[in-house]
Amino acid sequence: MRAPPRRRPDRPQGRLVRAAFTDTDVVTTAVPGGMSMGDPQATPAQRRGVIDQITAIATLVTIPSGDPCGRTLHVYMDGRARFDFIMAAGAPITINSPAYRGPGVRCSVQFRPIAGFGDPQQPATLSFLISQPVNGMRAPIIIEMPTDGFGVVRLEARRVTVNGTRLR
CA dist 38 and 79 (Å) reads 8
With residues binned 3-state (H G I as helix, E B as strand, rest as coil), the percentages for the chain, rounded to 5, are 10, 45, 45
CA dist 78 and 63 (Å) reads 25
Helix H or strand E segment including 64: none
User: Among residues 49, 55, 50, 106, which one has the least CA distance to residue 81?
Assistant: 50
User: Among residues 83, 73, 85, 147, which one has the least CA distance to residue 110?
Assistant: 85
- Which residues 6+ apart lie within 8 Å of 36 measured at CB? 80, 118
Q: What is the pLDDT of residue 37?
A: 62
Q: What is the pLDDT of residue 1?
A: 47
Q: What is the pLDDT of residue 11?
A: 46
> Would you list the domain boundaries of the chain?
16-166
Task: Return phi, psi of residue 24, to 5°.
Answer: -115, -10
- pLDDT tens across the length of the chain (168 residues): 444 444 445 544 667 778 888 878 888 777 776 666 667 788 888 988 898 888 888 888 777 677 888 889 999 887 778 999 999 988 999 999 999 999 999 999 999 999 988 777 888 899 999 988 877 778 889 999 988 788 899 999 998 887 777 766
